[in-house]
Amino acid sequence: MADRWQPVCDIQHLRLRAQMLANIRRFFADRDVLEVETPLLCRATGTDPQLDFFSTSLHTPPHNPTLFLQTSPEFAMKRLLAAGSGSIYQICKAFRNGESGRSHNPEFTILEWYRIGFNLQQLMDEVAELLQFLLAPTFKALSVSRISYWQLFHDITGLDALTFERQDYQRYTVSCGFSEAITLCGDEHALWLDFIFSHCVQPAMEKQTLFLVHGYPAIQSSLARIHPGDPRVAERFEAFINGMELGNGFFELVDPLEQEARFDREIAHRRARGLVVVEKDELLLDALRHGLPDCSGVALGLDRLLMIAGGCRTIDEILAFPLANA
């Protein structure tokens, strides 16, 4: 057993990280995308009921306002976009409380970028180019599969992801040996999708292939626009390699009213579930009211990308000091 002061990852992996950061900066410099920095410590945070955050308070008596460690740089970056920054990218730390596991560390590194005027298709192209470039030493030619969520889900499970047929979902999960899904998921379509996707679909994805899964069900739209031609799907995609989720991309929601309505829905959901109630980010809403240009944005987990590049089974193997040694 190594001493606890020592780094967990190989020194070789530190080099791999440094090389990847340099390559990312080169990639975006060549495309005239501006590198930016936004605060890690913020006055507001996301309302997503699935994300737990770290909070602290600023010591300025008599008022000690609460501050949050960001769960992603999305809101601040959108404020820059609304202010006319043009296309931007950022490499930063993000923090998600309680997320610890084989591919999760509560503090992790995100690469997030926004492209003015790009539709989702164009952004997916760019994600594929970037990943092929960054992973070139690992995969001679990383093959890319673009597939809709509905199609992938159907190919692997035979189920229709957009229509909730509880009986069918139940029969399928029981046949896979996951009878506990029935009590865990109940009548919540989104929960069934999360369960089946993570337990059955992801492990069945072909290895050594970048999957760009698009057309997520609208009930999982997050901050993406709803598809104008099909209200059942959102303009959102996710990237996977070896069945591991690498990131999320959206054709960004720019409508301040719709954004506020989603905030309110999530806050109500948090309240109903007894979670910490957070306030919506008024500064983001102000920026949207001012006007966010049409754009697409994506965030990738850099540590997971490094896991793939380094052939690591756990995120700890790629971090100098994972939580247990931090």
Instruction: Closer to other proteins by CB, 104 or 232: give it.
Output: 104
Binding site for other proteins (CB under 8 A): 48, 50, 98-102, 104, 177-178, 180-181, 184, 190-191, 193-195, 197-199, 220, 222, 238, 245, 247-248, 301
Pick between residue 25 and residue 104 the one whose CB is nearest to other proteins. Answer: 104
C-beta of 243 vs 293, nearer to other proteins:
243
Q: Which of 101, 104, 102 is nearest to 71 (CA)?
A: 104
Enumerate the H helices of 135-251 as residue ranges: 149-157, 166-175, 181-185, 189-196, 202-204
Q: Alpha-carbon distance 195 to 105, whole Å?
A: 21
Instruction: State the angle between helix axes of 256-272 and 282-290 in degrees (0 to 180), rounded to the nearest 10.
Output: 160
Q: Tell me if 44 sits within 8 A of 278, measured CB to CB.
A: yes
Cβ proximity to other proteins, 33 vs 300, nearer residue: 300
In terms of CB distance, is 10 or 52 closer to other proteins? 52
Rounded Cα distance, 221 and 170, in Å: 24
**Given the complex with other proteins, which of 34 and 191 has the nearer CB atom?**
191
Q: What is the CA radius of gyration of the chain?
A: 20
Residue nearer to other proteins on the CB measure, 118 or 237: 237
* DSSP structural state of residue 201: I
Nearest approach, Cβ of residue 233 and other proteins (Å): 15
Residue 38's alpha-carbon distances to 115, 284, 294, 300, in angstroms, are 17, 13, 21, 17
How many angstroms from the chain centroid is the CA of residue 60?
34
DSSP 104: B
Nearer to other proteins, 23 or 148 (CB): 148
62: preceding bond cis by omega (within 30 degrees): yes
CA dist 3 and 1 (Å) reads: 7
At a CB cut-off of 8 Å and minimum separation 6, what does 264 contact? 280
Token pair in block for residue 194: 């999360």
